[in-house]
Amino acid sequence: MTLLRPSRASELLELLGPPAHLEVLAERHELLRFGSSRVTYQHSEERLLVRARIVRNGRAAWGTASSLQRATLRALRQRLEAMVDALPGVNASPMAEVGGGADSPQTCFESTARARAEDRTALFRRALAACPEGATLGGSISHTLTEQTVANTHGLVRRERRTRVAAQFIGALDGRSSIGRAVHRDAAALPIQQALDEVRGGLVQLPTRTLEPGVYRAVLGPQATIVLLAVFGQIALGGRQFLDHLSAASGRVGEPITSPFITLVDDGCDANGLPTSFDSEGLLKRRVQLIDRGVLIGVVHDAETARRAGTEPTGHSAPPGWRFGADPIPSHLFMAPGSASDQDLLTACGTGLSIQRADYVRVVNSRQTLVTGTTRDATLWIEHGRIAARGAQFRFTLRLADLLGNVEVLGSRRERGDSVFMESVVAPAMLVSALPVQVVVAN
């Protein structure tokens, strides 16, 4: 794989005809899966995605292809021009202009780009050796190299190589399960030991405790916080939802929307996440203060919503045709940590629940931040500030704004995670005063 040269990008734009915008994504993905303590699947794939936008007489159309051959681009142009001719009115937003910005973060590491099947197998064996006696191990390990080029006929050209390594380990022992996750751009810095410690810690033998429906104090582990925070960012902190009064944050800049313990930013250049320099429009990522000690400061924008809001775009455009919609949403969330140790959180909870992971979280009503989901893996009972028993998994339905408004204490230790619609989320554990338990489900 080699980044698209600027001269080659110019040739392709000429084939599309001005004004035109081009994005090329090339990806190599290597995957190892395992279950019941044995390798079950190995996969290697290379993909190429070409996105093109043309503008004719104030009207625009998008299209995609999987080849950079000249004949393919000519055919794509013909289809797009036919679409543009059928449009009833002006619909084109302006293309990104050439502009400078902050120094680009390091996004590509040779330790990841050059990783081989032997490296993934070695990680699997290390994880297997770390499991308690009698436990079985499942999960996956992947190495990904992505090369992105964005260019347009206004002279903008941006190129970036990005690597990503991800490991997920799920241990199972005598009907109980526990998970550890780790993601990084640099395979040499992947926090494997932390993930394995999480697996072992969640498999300790404990008595079982019946859990009745009700409302409980709860410590949400970093991975549970990451999942819920990502969904909140997606449905509440994007520019279009905010401007169209479809967000719980609409019209509330300067007002408290969460607990005062929460400070939240989006920063694509922070190396503590999975940094990315620019978005699909070629606009540079900007650091955006979203929430400061509970008070809403702002939301993220693409070029169109920034124009509507009379502000500058923040580098958060959604790729056209994206299955999660065309709205700009946060991409690199960071929740500021607190000062509490893991034991401090348990002590502050007193009696309640410890949740390792939230799963199957689905949005019921985005305007109300109403979601439903389940706990997963190690769901534990806290008694007098100590882990005392193991509880069953359960379903919850709640308003994320209420949950984040009930945060009492934040942990000092943060973990890195991601989601299918967000590049990275970095967050600590948090103690909430009210977590609803609706339906207890079988482990």
Q: Which CATH number belongs to the domain containing residue 82 in this structure?
A: 3.30.2290.10
- Domain annotation covers residue 199: no
Q: Does residue 102 carry a pLDDT above 60?
A: no
Rounded to whole angstroms, the maximal C-alpha distance in the chain is 71
- Domain annotation covers residue 170: no
Q: Does residue 70 carry a pLDDT above 80?
A: yes
Q: Does residue 2 carry a pLDDT above 90?
A: no
- Domain annotation covers residue 271: yes
Strands 422-437 and 332-335: parallel
The rounded distance, in Å, linking the Cα atoms of 114 and 225 is 32
pLDDT for res 103? 64
Between 97 and 206, the more confident residue is: 206
Angle, alpha carbons 11-14-18 (nearest 5°)? 145
pLDDT for res 95? 76
The rounded distance, in Å, linking the Cα atoms of 148 and 164 is 14
Mean pLDDT score, 294-312: 95
- For residues 431 and 348, the answer to whether their CB atoms sit within 8 Å is yes
Question: Which band of pLDDT confidence, cut at 50, 70 and 90, is reported for residue 374?
Answer: very high
Task: Specify whether 223 is located in the same domain as 146.
Answer: no
> Both tokens of residue 395?
């379903």
Q: Is 251 left (phi over 0), alpha (psi -120 to 50) or beta?
A: left
Task: Specify whether 85 is located in the same domain as 212.
Answer: no
Question: Which band of pLDDT confidence, cut at 50, 70 and 90, is reported for residue 325?
Answer: confident
Asked which of 137, 165, 193 is the last residue of a domain, the reply is 165
Q: What is the pTM of this model?
A: 0.94
The rounded distance, in Å, linking the Cα atoms of 231 and 338 is 21
Q: Say how far residue 433 (Cα) sits from the centre of its chain.
A: 26
pLDDT for res 19? 94
332 three-state secondary structure: strand
Residue-range definition of the domain harbouring residue 23: 6-165
> Both tokens of residue 264?
């939240």
Asked which of 114, 135, 165 is the last residue of a domain, the reply is 165
225 three-state secondary structure: helix
Angle, alpha carbons 277-422-272 (nearest 5°)? 55
pLDDT for res 99? 67
pLDDT for res 440? 78
Q: Does residue 285 carry a pLDDT above 70?
A: yes
> Both tokens of residue 304?
């169109």
- Domain annotation covers residue 128: yes
> Both tokens of residue 290?
């979203």
Mean pLDDT score, 367-393: 94
pLDDT for res 14? 95
- Domain annotation covers residue 406: yes
Distance from first CA to last CA of the chain, Å, rounded?
Answer: 44
The rounded distance, in Å, linking the Cα atoms of 230 and 418 is 8
Task: Specify whether 159 is located in the same domain as 220.
Answer: no
Q: Does residue 326 carry a pLDDT above 90?
A: no
Question: Which band of pLDDT confidence, cut at 50, 70 and 90, is reported for residue 101?
Answer: low
For the chain, the average pLDDT equals 93
Strands 214-220 and 176-184: unpaired
- For residues 277 and 158, the answer to whether their CB atoms sit within 8 Å is yes
- Domain annotation covers residue 198: no
399-414 pLDDT, tens digit each: 999 999 999 999 999 9
Number of structural domains (the chain) is 2
Nearest alpha carbon to residue 265 among 220, 299, 224: 299
- Percent of the chain residues past pLDDT 70, beyond the cut: 98
pLDDT for res 272? 96
Mean pLDDT score, 250-270: 97
Task: Specify whether 222 is located in the same domain as 357.
Answer: yes
Task: Specify whether 115 is located in the same domain as 216.
Answer: no
Question: Which band of pLDDT confidence, cut at 50, 70 and 90, is reported for residue 323?
Answer: confident
The rounded distance, in Å, linking the Cα atoms of 396 and 213 is 10
